[in-house]
Amino acid sequence: MEYIKAFIVGGAICVIGQILIDKTKLMSGRILVLFVVLGAVLHGIGLYEPLVNFAGAGATVPLPGFGYSLAKGAMEEVDKMGLKGAFTGGIKSTAAGITAAIVFAYLAALIFNPKAKD
Amino acid sequence: MAKYLGRQTIKFDLPPSIVSTASTVGPKEGKGPLSSYFDVVLHDPLWGEDSWEKAESKIVKKTIERVIQKGNLTPEDIDYIFAGDLLNQLTASTFGIRGLSIPFFGLFGACSTMAEAISLGAMAIDGGFANYIVAEASSHFCSSEKQFRFPLELGTQRPLTASWTVTGSGAVVLGKYGPSPYVSYVTSGKIVDLGVKDPMNMGAAMAPAAADTIIAHFEDTGFTPNDYDLIITGDLGSIGKELTLQLLRKNNYDIENIYTDCGIEIFDPVSQDTHAGGSGCGCCAVTLAGYLYKEMKNNKWNRILFVPTGALMSPGSIQQGESIPGIAHAVVIENNWS
Amino acid sequence: MSQIQDMKKEYSKMVEELSPKSNLLRDSARAFWVGGLICAIGQLITNIIKSFGYNHDEASMLTTIILVFLGIILTGLDIYDSLGKYAGAGTVVPITGFANSIVSPAIEYKKEGYVFGVGAKMFTIAGPVLVYGTIASVAVGIVHYFFK
pLDDT reading at C141 higher than 70: yes
The b-or-e profile of B225-239 (16+ CB within 10 A means b, else e) is: beebbbbbbbbbbbb
Best probe of the A interface among B157, B160, B197, by most A CBs < 10 A, is: B157
pLDDT reading at C1 higher than 80: no
pLDDT reading at A115 higher than 60: yes
pLDDT reading at A28 higher than 80: no
**Per-residue pLDDT at B2:** 54
Best probe of the C interface among A32, A53, A76, A102, by most C CBs < 10 A, is: A32
**Per-residue pLDDT at C148:** 74
The tens digit of pLDDT for each residue in B276-322 reads: 999 999 999 999 999 999 999 999 999 999 999 999 999 999 999 99
Does A29 map to a domain? Answer: yes
Phi and psi at B32, nearest 5°, equal -85, 180
Does A20 map to a domain? Answer: yes
Chains that touch B (3 or more CB pairs under 8 A): A, C
Least confident stretch, B126-130, B206-210, C19-23, C127-131: C19-23
pLDDT reading at B116 higher than 80: yes
Does A118 map to a domain? Answer: no
Compute chain A's Rg from CA coordinates. Answer: 17
Q: State the residue range of the domain holding A36.
A: 2-111
CB of B160 within 8 Å of any CB in chain A?
A: no
CB of B198 within 8 Å of any CB in chain A?
A: yes
- Mean per-residue pLDDT, A91-118: 94
pLDDT reading at B138 higher than 70: yes
Q: Mark yes or no for CB contact C122/A105 under 8 Å.
A: yes
The tens digit of pLDDT for each residue in B144-154 reads: 999 999 999 99
CB of B28 within 8 Å of any CB in chain A?
A: yes
Q: Percent of chain B having pLDDT more than 90?
A: 96
- A25 to chain B, closest Cα gap in Å: 9
**Which residue among A35, A87, A105 places its CB closest to the CB of C72?**
A105
- A76 to chain C, closest Cα gap in Å: 8
- Mean per-residue pLDDT, B13-41: 97
Q: Which residues of B touch C95 (CB under 8 A)?
A: none
Q: Which residues of A touch B141 (CB under 8 A)?
A: 116-117
pLDDT reading at B20 higher than 80: yes
- Mean per-residue pLDDT, C124-137: 96
Does A92 map to a domain? Answer: yes
Q: Which residues of C touch B196 (CB under 8 A)?
A: 11-12, 15
Q: Mark yes or no for CB contact B28/A28 under 8 Å.
A: no
Q: Percent of chain C having pLDDT more than 90?
A: 94
Half-sphere exposure at residue B179, Cβ-oriented, CA atoms within 13 angstroms: 7
Q: Which residues of B touch A116 (CB under 8 A)?
A: 26-27, 45-46, 141-142, 152
Domains and CATH numbers, chain B: 13-175 (3.40.47.40), 182-334 (3.40.47.40)
Dist. CA B69–CA C135, nearest whole Å: 62
Dist. CA A93–CA A71, nearest whole Å: 9
**Which residue among C20, C101, C108 places its CB closest to the CB of B152?**
C108
Q: What is the mean pLDDT of chain B?
A: 96
Q: Which of B137, B121, B114, B172 is nearest to B56 (CA)?
A: B137
CB of C31 within 8 Å of any CB in chain B?
A: no
pLDDT reading at B72 higher than 70: yes
Q: Percent of chain A having pLDDT more than 90?
A: 87
**Which residue among B51, B153, B242 places its CB closest to the CB of C80?**
B153
- Mean per-residue pLDDT, A94-110: 96
**Which residue among C19, C84, C87 places its CB closest to the CB of B204?**
C19
Q: Mark yes or no for CB contact B195/C111 under 8 Å.
A: no
**Per-residue pLDDT at C3:** 86
Q: Percent of chain B having pLDDT more than 70?
A: 99
Dist. CA B222–CA B243, nearest whole Å: 23
Whether a cis peptide bond, with omega within 30° of 0, leads into B308 is no
Q: Mark yes or no for CB contact A114/C94 under 8 Å.
A: no
Chains that touch A (3 or more CB pairs under 8 A): B, C
Does A72 map to a domain? Answer: yes
pLDDT reading at B338 higher than 70: no
Q: Mark yes or no for CB contact C92/B155 under 8 Å.
A: yes
Q: What is the mean pLDDT of chain C?
A: 95
Query: pLDDT band at residue A25, thresholds of 50, 70 and 90?
Result: confident
Are the C-beta atoms of residues C92 and B155 closer than 8 Å to each other? yes
**Per-residue pLDDT at A29:** 83
Q: Could you give the residue ranges of the DSSP H alpha helices within A1-118?
A: 2-24, 28-44, 48-55, 57-60, 63-81, 85-111
The tens digit of pLDDT for each residue in B223-256 reads: 999 999 999 998 999 999 999 999 999 999 999 9
Dist. CA C73–CA A112, nearest whole Å: 9
Show the 3-state SS of chain B.
CCCEECCCEEECCCCCEEEEEEEEECHHHHCCCCHHHCCEECCCCCCCCCCHHHHHHHHHHHHHHHHHHHCCCCHHHCCEEEEECCCHHHHHHHHHHCCCCCCEEECCCHHHHHHHHHHHHHHHHHCCCCCEEEEEEEECHHHHHHHHCCCCCCCCCCCCCCCEECCEEEEEEEECCCCCCEEEEEECCCCECCCCCCCCCHHHHHHHHHHHHHHHHHHHHCCCHHHCCEEEEECCHHHHHHHHHHHHHHCCCCCHHHEEEHHHHCCCCCCCCCCCCEECHHHHHHHHHHHHHHHHHCCCCCEEEEEEEEECCCHHHHHCCCCCCEEECEEEEECCCC
pLDDT, greater one: B63 or B4: B63
Dist. CA B281–CA B308, nearest whole Å: 9
Q: Count contacts between A and C (CB, < 8 Å).
A: 284
Compute chain B's Rg from CA coordinates. Answer: 18
Does A57 map to a domain? Answer: yes
Q: Mark yes or no for CB contact B151/C22 under 8 Å.
A: no
Are the C-beta atoms of residues B243 and B318 closer than 8 Å to each other? no
**Per-residue pLDDT at B3:** 83
Q: Please tell me the pTM assigned to this model.
A: 0.95
Q: Which of A109, A99, B50 is nearest to C73 (CA)?
A: A109
Chains that touch C (3 or more CB pairs under 8 A): A, B
CB of B321 within 8 Å of any CB in chain A?
A: no
